[in-house]
């Protein structure tokens, strides 16, 4: 008899769960989050600043300084905190998003993004889909464990990405970076989108609730100030994860 690979069992289980989820689609969203809904101003030696986006399609600039009247200094259109125009268009209206850029004393910089899901599953998805659509090539991908093998450990999916951009007058620019991410609802933590979907579907069917899930991402340039991605991500991720879980002290007991 032909043996099924473990992935086949996961996919089969998900298929059954999602058929059942359709029968439980009226389960209300749990608005009592087990997670913090904003990002800290500091993470260890990293200091954060808010990010603002211009949604004028002819401008689309990204700024780190809030103007007095919250208007873009280049085109005069309103600035939006945290959200890019593409995110505002693509994500459901009940999605929550927070974003900050962090710098350390050496001048190294990372961008941290927190997305909290709404009722629709499309609030959260595999970032590989969006990154490819933004012109990034996937150079490498792996799961890295930070914090040892104890209860405090955190598994993160780490992508190496590359992009070539056409500049004015025919010149080209190349950029290499990393994109690290994981998912959590305050009780479960996973770097895998399929596992997150399994937990979310199980809660809807067996517990009759739809907890908010968070998608947490850390991104930056490879070689920034001589750092390797694992060094920077490891320094920030555990601090960030502990911060996000502060709001859910009773979540392990079923909220």
Q: pLDDT tens digit string along 216-247? A: 999 998 887 778 899 999 999 999 999 998 76
Beta bridge partners of 103: 47, 109
Whether 58 is covered by a domain: the verdict is no
Supply the pLDDT for residue 253: 45
Supply the pLDDT for residue 18: 54
Residue 211 has pLDDT above 50, yes or no: yes
Residue 2 has pLDDT above 70, yes or no: no
Contacts of 48 (CB under 8 A, 6+ apart): 39, 40, 41, 42, 100, 101, 102, 112
Higher-scoring residue by pLDDT: 99, 15: 99
Helix or strand or coil: residue 173?
strand
Supply the pLDDT for residue 15: 58
Contacts of 168 (CB under 8 A, 6+ apart): none
The whole-number average pLDDT for the span 111-137 is 79
Its domain, for residue 197, covers 6-51+96-248
> How distant, in Å, are the alpha carbons of 8, 166, 192, 251 from that of 127?
22, 23, 11, 27
Whether 189 is covered by a domain: the verdict is yes
Whether 80 is covered by a domain: the verdict is no
What does the alpha-carbon distance between residue 85 and residue 53 come to, in Å, rounded to a whole number? 8
Whether 143 is covered by a domain: the verdict is yes
CB-based contacts of 1-8 (< 8 A; 24+ apart in sequence): none
> How distant, in Å, are the alpha carbons of 14, 26, 111 from that of 22?
12, 9, 36
Supply the pLDDT for residue 28: 62
Whether 197 is covered by a domain: the verdict is yes
Residue 104 has pLDDT above 50, yes or no: yes
Whether 205 is covered by a domain: the verdict is yes
Q: Sorting pLDDT into bands at 50, 70 and 90, what band is 11?
A: low
Supply the pLDDT for residue 236: 94
Number of domains in the chain: 1
Whether 59 is covered by a domain: the verdict is no
The whole-number average pLDDT for the span 193-209 is 83
Q: Sorting pLDDT into bands at 50, 70 and 90, what band is 166?
A: low
The whole-number average pLDDT for the span 139-145 is 91
Q: Sorting pLDDT into bands at 50, 70 and 90, what band is 24?
A: very low
Q: Sorting pLDDT into bands at 50, 70 and 90, what band is 144?
A: very high
Can you give 24-68 as a three-state secondary structure string? CCCCCEECCCCCCCCCCCEECCEEEEECEEECCCCCCCEECCCCC
Alpha helices for the chain (secondary structure H) = 6-23, 85-90, 127-133, 193-202, 229-244
The whole-number average pLDDT for the span 61-72 is 86
Supply the pLDDT for residue 9: 54
Higher-scoring residue by pLDDT: 16, 62: 62
Helix or strand or coil: residue 40?
coil
Higher-scoring residue by pLDDT: 164, 151: 164
Q: Sorting pLDDT into bands at 50, 70 and 90, what band is 78?
A: very high
Whether 90 is covered by a domain: the verdict is no
């Amino acid at each position: 008899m032909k043996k099924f690979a473990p992935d086949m069992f996961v996919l089969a289980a998900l298929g059954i769960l999602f058929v059942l989820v359709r029968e439980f689609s009226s389960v209300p969203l749990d608005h009592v989050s087990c997670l913090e809904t904003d990002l800290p101003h500091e993470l260890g030696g990293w200091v954060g600043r808010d990010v603002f986006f211009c949604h004028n399609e002819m401008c689309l600039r990204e700024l780190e300084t809030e103007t007095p009247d919250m208007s873009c200094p280049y085109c005069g259109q309103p600035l939006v905190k945290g959200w890019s125009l593409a995110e505002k268009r693509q994500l459901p209206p009940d999605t929550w998003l927070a974003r900050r850029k962090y710098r350390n004393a050496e001048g190294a910089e990372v961008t941290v993004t927190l997305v909290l899901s709404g009722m629709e599953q499309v609030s959260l998805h595999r970032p590989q889909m969006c990154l490819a659509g933004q012109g990034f090539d996937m150079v490498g991908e792996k799961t890295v464990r930070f914090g040892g093998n104890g209860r405090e450990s955190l598994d993160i999916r780490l992508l190496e990405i590359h992009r070539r951009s056409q500049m004015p007058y025919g010149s080209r620019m190349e950029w290499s970076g990393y994109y690290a991410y994981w998912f959590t609802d305050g009780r479960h933590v996973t770097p895998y989108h399929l596992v997150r979907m399994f937990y979310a579907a199980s809660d809807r069917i067996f517990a009759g609730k739809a907890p908010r899930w968070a998608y947490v991402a850390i991104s930056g340039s490879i070689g920034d100030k001589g750092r390797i991605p694992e060094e920077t991500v490891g320094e920030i991720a555990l601090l960030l994860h502990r911060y996000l879980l502060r709001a859910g002290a009773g979540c392990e007991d079923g909220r």
